[in-house]
Structure formats: C-alpha cells, structure tokens
Chains A and B, each alone.
Chain A
Amino acid sequence: MLRALLALTLVAALAGCSAGSTAYSSPSADSITIGFSAAPANLDFTRTDGAAIPQALLDNVYQGLVRLDANGAIVPQLATSWTVSPDRRTYDFQLRPGVTFTDGEPFTADTVKFSVDRVRTAWTISLKSQMDVVDHVEAVDPLHARVVLKQPSNGWLFSMASRLGAMFAPNGVGNLATTPIGTGPYRLDRFNRGDSLVLKANPGYWGPKPAYGRVVLKYFQDPTALNNALLSNGIDVISSVQAPDSLAQFASDERFTTIQGTTTGEVVLSFNNAKAPLNDKRVRQALTYGIDRKALLDTAWAGKGLLIGSMVPPSDPWYEDLAGVHPYDPAKARQLLSDAGQQHLTLRLRIPNLPYAVDSAQVIRSQLAAIGVTVSIEELDFPAVWLKQVFTGHDFDMSIVAHVEARDIVTFGNPKYYWGYTNPTVTQLLAAADTGTPEQQIADMKQVARTINADAAADWLFLLPNLIVAKKGITGLPPNQVGEAFDLSALGRS
C-alpha cells in the first residue's frame, strides 16, 4: 500500500514535468507499430535460420518472382506471368519492367540468375536444399528469365514464393546481416537488435504506395509485455497472441478487434522413432491414444487452434481431417503398452523454453501419468540448446515444437531428420508427388499424411491459430498466416 502511494506521488511528480499526460501513442498517423514475439538475430536469412527474418523482410523489403496470397495460392510478384514447358522442367518468367533495387540497380533476368544461383553457392541454411532441383538459369533477354530443372518438381515454384526465391541486387549482398537491399515497398530505416526494426516506404517502389509510410516492428519476448504494450497504446497490432488466455481482456475492450484464422504451424509432439522404446509402433500409438488433444488445446492454447491429426494444415490442397483417427482412449493405450511389454515406461520430454511447449508438456505429463507413463520434462534454451541437443544431437525421447514452415510434411521422407522416421514408402510417395502431375501430387500427399498418422510417427497436438489483435480501423491484416511473410503493404486504415 505504501509503495503504491509512493508510486502515485512520484508518478504525479514526474508526469508533471512532461508535456501533458496523454496516452503514449505512435508519433504520427502515417506510422504503425506492430508487436512480434520472436526477434531476428540479424537480417540475413540466407545464413541464419528461423522465421523472424523472412517474416519481417520477405514481401516487404525483398520480393521474389512469385508470392503466396492470403489463401496460399501462388500469384505473380516480380514476374508478371510464367509458362511451364510440357515436360514441366522449364519455367519461362516474364519479368516486370522498370523495377529497381533500393541501391539503384535495375532488376533484370541477370538478377534472377544471380539470385537463384546464389542459393547454392552462398546460402547456408538447411532449406537451401529445396533449390537443388534447379539445373541452370538462363537470362534469355533482360525481361525474360528461364529456369531449367533437373526433373519436374511441384514443390519448386512453391519454394520460390518463400525466402528462397528472394531477389538480391548483385552489388547489394555485401552486408546482408545489417543492410538488406530489395525491390519491395519498404526499405530498412533502422534495426535496433533485440528491440525493433523500423521500415520506411521505398520512394522508388514500382507498385502502389503503401498506406503507412513508416512501420515499426517491435519485439517482445515476454507474452505479457506484448499484451500490455497494446493495452497501454504502446503498439497498434499484436501479430500473434502468445497468451491466448488473456484474449478476454481484448474482447471486452472497445478499442480492439480480434482476427482468428489458421497458420501452417503444427505443434508436434515428436517421437524419437529411431530409438527404443519409441521405435516400437505400439508404444507410439499408445501415447497417441493416451493424450486427450482437445483438453490439451483447451489448456495450453485456450481452445483456439485446430486439431489436425497429421502434418497438413487446411491451407494445403491435400488437407484431410485426420484428428479422429486416434481418439482419446486410455484403456486402449494401456493395452498397447502392455502388449509392448512397457507398463513402466519413463520418457524424457525435452522441450524448447517457449510458452506453447512448456504448457503442452505439463498437460502431457499429467495425462500420460494416467496410463502409467512417467514423463520427465526438461526445458532447453531455444533455439541454441534445443537445436544442438535435440534437433542435431537426437538426444531425446519426445519433444514439442511448432513446425511452422509450409509443407514441412516432406521432412517425414528424410530418415536423418531429428525424429528418425524411416519409411521407404513415404519417401517414395513424396518423390512421386513432387515429380508427378498436380493431381497425382494431391493423391500421393494424402497417402503420405494417412501413412504417418497410422504409424503414429508423431502426435500432432494442434495447429497454431493465427491470432491477431489490432486497434479498430486497421485493415488488411492477414486472416491466415500461410507463408513466411507478414505482408505490410496490404495494411490500410478505414
């Protein structure tokens, strides 16, 4: 009480010094501040993994030939149109004329060749392997680029809509970690590491001028701090609510609107398929039957989100609802464990120190205790320690991570991936899906999703929702988060 009183006096004294006691707000109407949860370590997504960098820079500073729209469809960006040869190996892109980078260099077919080739020569992140299918790139004429693939690939053009397809200025790649140079509607104004990223409208932009001349991307590691910033008018938008239980605060407040859609972020309880005891399918199935995912979603993410049952979000063409295949059935789980001779199982659940993982882990531990499985939870610093010990070192029984990359179901075709799932049928189906016709792709991918679900290769706990809270009057916020980018140029005001 005394402290509160003292606080009041001091605040009054200090507030008296400052001009007026109006609310803390954005400097001008032309500016918008958006709160994010994960801060980029630097600005170079060619050498640094993680979702934060492309989220801020792709489509805003960097652009590709194509991009994903809000429904996940591939639409033109720096290419005005393209054709695919009958053997589906050769792509001819017509390029947008009159496009320049912020350092003044023109965007031409040579730029396309430079950028696509550079993925193989200079990039280091693991995703770069998606460009291995490229045989060569030709600059046919300044506004006509041709990409020839080694074999047909349905996934390649989709990858070109991600950070892998970003176009770089040949003279502008000297210091990507701090100085991004692109063709997009915004250019970098200031990067305060760990705190904020300030973008300003690119005056030389080829497209329509964005509604906000200045965008501040502000980073909050702490979910509560993020919420409080919006509640106290410090920011205008929460790009992704990390504490859904607190949504009630915003719903009851006239100042805000809430958007709820889907993402590509599958929260996966991953099993170490390569190591006993989880190399036994019966044990994995038992765990899957032993977890009440509805209750878990209600507890860990306030019931927001979607039960999916496999590694496919609804925005993919081969989505099927597989959530009911392994219903919650503790009796069956116990039976399977006893069949496998594992009535006294102890498992190490090694998780990143992120809210969704820590919350889910406590639910899982409690639920699995009911079927006689002892779970020990270990929190690891994310990303550094988790990547090293779990992802690279495969030192775990189970983990919980949101796999946010689009179409990451293909990882089940890679036996070296951290969950160690080896199934030649799945690998074959994935390869056939990539090279086959689009119809075949859908059929094959459905088969893959069903197979990994039947094998209980992992337990898909839920799909993260796209939960945005914004001040009323801000338009153009993405209803679904299907790609890597957070498109700022679509924002407007009513």
Chain B
Amino acid sequence: MRNLVIGAVLVGLIVLAALISFLWTPFDPTQVDAALRLQGPSGAHWLGTDRFGRDLVSQLMVGARTTLYVGVVAVGVAAVIGTPLGVFAAAGPRWLGEIVLRANDIMLAFPALLLAIMFGAAFGASTLTAMVAIGIATVPSFARLARGSALQVLNTEYVLAARSAGRTGLAISVRHVLPNIAGLIIVQCSVSFGIAVLAEAALSYLGLGTQPPTPSWGRMLQESQELLAVQPRLLIVPGVAIALAVLGFTLLGDGLRDRFDPRLEGHRAQG
C-alpha cells in the first residue's frame, strides 16, 4: 500500500509537470542566452540556468514530457506486440506456443541497449528509434508473462466450460483471458517504464538518444557532465529527476502487484 502511494505520487508529479508544460513553462526551455549562462538559483530561475543560459525548471518540465513519451513508446511497443503473442501462444495450438517460445529465446539474445545501438546505426539516432528498439527488446518479457498467466486462466473451470461449449480460442482469449491478465500486464508496464527511462538516459549519454534541442533529462546530464565539479547542481537536478521517475514507476508496479497478486512479492520485476 505504501509502495502504491509513493509510486503513484511520484508518477503523478511527472505527469502533472508534463501536462502543465504544454500550457506554461517559466521560460522557453530552448531559449539560449549567453548573458544568463550558469546562473545559480534565483527568484526568476528557481533552479538556475545551464551552460546555454536556459532555465532549468523549464527544461525539467518539458523533459518530463520526453520521459513519458519514451516510456509510452517503449512500453507500448512491448505490450502491444508481446501480450497477444503470449496469449495466442497459450490459447493457440501447441506448435504456435513452441514457436513463440523459441522466438523469445532468440529475442532474449539481443538485450535492449544492444538493440538500441544497432537501430541507431541503421536508422540514425533519435528518441523514437531508440525507444522502438527498447520496446522490441522488452517484447519477450511481456510475451512470457502473458503466456504464463494465460495458461493459468485457461485451466480454470469456467474457461474449460466455455471451451466445451464450443467457443473458439480467439473468442476465449478476448473474452476471458485478456481481462484476467490485464492486471499483471499493467504491473509489467509500470516496471518496464522505469527501465525504459534508464535506457533513454544511457543512450542520450552515448549520443544515441534524444537529439538537441529537445529537452530530455538524459540529455541534460550528458550536456553538463563536464561541470560536475564546478556546477554540481546541473547534474544533481536531472539525476534526481531520473532516479525519482524510475523509482516512482517501480514502486507503482510493486504496489499494483501486491494488489493484484499478493503472493508474488518482489518477483518478476525483470521477467
């Protein structure tokens, strides 16, 4: 319960910051002003300015948008492909299940960051490319989870009854399986969200993530790393933002899991 509350508050803050940034930010987050470079916190600039004289608060707010975008794309790709794949593997014929399992094994050989680097080489660096890659690499964990829980649902009596009543596999999957496993899938989404946010930071650091001038927390870190000794604020602010975002989504996932499946405390975080 505590996890759920803390996680929901942190995630809520990020969503709120992102939503407000569409309507209002203290300054234009990409407005460069040489005269305002590297200023400490002040009444006008609550967290100060960066090397380009850009307002840190504004960047943080718009960066929250990027963070959510990153997670939604990566998790969206993974869930939309992985969940049906897992369900069909469970509900469909045996050979289909076997193929999905083997395909999963192959996918597992391409960890997220590696796939993102390969995609970056092929299609050029961008947030979208990177996150589609992260999403694809996360498909197996969704497929596995969906298959496992779908098998459990399929063995329940009412599904067996539906089957004997002549319902097709597809109909059963849509009517009975998906609603029953939705909770666990949402948990997995939340956990994967945090992993995607970390991956964006790492890729931005390597120059394969978010491209300028789009503000992103990973990029803010990358642009200021040389100033750690001189202006630690410039790394602490985005660093804390990233850590809290990841923490928020992980806790939210944990909290939700406790609700949906109290027995499975702590398991399955990485599929």
Contact = CB atoms under 8 A, between A and B. Distances in A.
Direct contact of A and B (CB under 8 A): yes
Contact of B226 (A223, A292, A353, A358): A223
Given A299-B34, A299-B53, A365-B30, A377 B226 contact: no
Interface stretch (A27-35, A57-65, A243-251, A390-398): A243-251
B211 A377 contact: yes
A378 B228 CA distance: 27
Nearest to A377: B212
A299 B125 CA distance: 25
Interface residues of A, number: 29
Interface in A289-336: 292, 294-296, 298-299
Contacts of B32: 295, 299, 362-363, 365-367
A367 to B, nearest CB: 7
Nearest to B120: A381
Contacts of A362: 30, 32, 52, 212-213
A397 B9 CA distance: 46
A379 B230 contact: no
A363 B237 CA distance: 22
Contacts of A366: 30-32, 52, 213
Nearest to A292: B34
A248 B226 CA distance: 11
Secondary structure of the B side of the interface?
loop
A363 B52 contact: yes
Interface in A330-380: 353, 358-359, 361-363, 365-367, 377-380
Contacts of A295: 32-35
A227 interface: yes
Nearest to B28: A366
A425 interface: no
Given A227-B226, A245-B227, A379 B34 contact: no
Contacts of A298: 34, 37
Given A246-B227, A249-B229, A377 B53 contact: no
A263 B214 CA distance: 33
Given A361-B212, A362-B30, A365-B213, A299 B207 contact: no
A224 interface: yes
B168 interface: no
Nearest to A244: B226
A299 B52 contact: yes
A248 B213 CA distance: 26
B51 A245 contact: yes
A32 to B, nearest CB: 24
Interface in A220-267: 223-224, 227, 231, 243, 245-246, 248-249
B87 interface: no
B225 interface: yes
Contact of A299 (B51, B124, B212): B51
B251 interface: no
B133 interface: no
B38 interface: yes
Contacts of A224: 225-226, 228
A378 B211 contact: yes
Contact of A249 (B35, B53, B125, B230): B230
Interface string B226-258: 111110000000000000000000000000000
A367 B31 CA distance: 8
B213 A245 contact: no
A254 B252 CA distance: 50
Nearest to B228: A224
A385 B228 CA distance: 31
Interface-centre pick from A245, A248, A292, A294 (highest chain B CB count, 10 A): A245
Nearest to A355: B226
Nearest to A363: B32
Nearest to B31: A366
A231 B31 CA distance: 33
Contacts of A361: 212
Can you list the 10 inter-chain pairs with the closest CB atoms, starting with the nearest? Answer: A295-B34, A366-B32, A243-B226, A298-B34, A224-B226, A246-B226, A299-B34, A224-B225, A363-B32, A362-B213
Given A359-B51, A366-B32, A379-B212, 13 more contacts: A245-B226, A246-B227, A246-B230, A292-B34, A294-B34, A295-B33, A298-B34, A299-B52, A358-B212, A361-B212, A379-B125, A379-B207, A385-B124
16 contacts: A224-B228, A243-B226, A245-B226, A246-B226, A294-B34, A295-B34, A299-B52, A353-B125, A359-B51, A362-B32, A366-B213, A377-B212, A377-B213, A379-B211, A379-B212, A380-B124
